[in-house]
Amino acid sequence: MKCPLLSFLGGALVGAAIALLYAPETGNETRRKLHGMVAQGKQKMKDAVEEGYDKINEYKMTD
């Protein structure tokens, strides 16, 4: 079974890539936006992993 979070993130990345390809901006502006999007994605992934670890630890403590 696929992880819904990974499916969502994959779809978001594909959508962002398509949007960037069709955006009427200069290369510098596009690279700056892409850098910001990657930084946000990395932070969201870190937050999701941390939340997962917290939930696992909570589960272990209840047993």
Per-residue pLDDT of the chain (63 residues; tens, 9 = 90+): 467 777 787 888 888 878 877 877 787 888 888 888 888 988 988 998 898 888 888 888 886
The number of domains in the chain is 1
- Describe the crossing of helices 4-22 and 27-62 by its angle, rounded to 10 degrees: 170
pLDDT at res. 1: 42
The token pair at 5 is 């979070």
pLDDT at res. 16: 81
Indicate whether 10 belongs to any domain: no
Q: How does DSSP classify residue 16?
A: H
Indicate whether 58 belongs to any domain: yes
Indicate whether 17 belongs to any domain: no
Indicate whether 12 belongs to any domain: no
Indicate whether 21 belongs to any domain: no
pLDDT at res. 2: 60
pLDDT at res. 28: 86
Geometric angle at alpha carbon 58, from 56 and 60, rounded to 5°: 70
* Segments in the chain forming alpha helices (H): 4-22, 27-62
What is the separation, in whole angstroms, between the first and last Cα of the chain?
26
Q: In which domain, by residue range, is 41 found? A: 27-63
Indicate whether 3 belongs to any domain: no
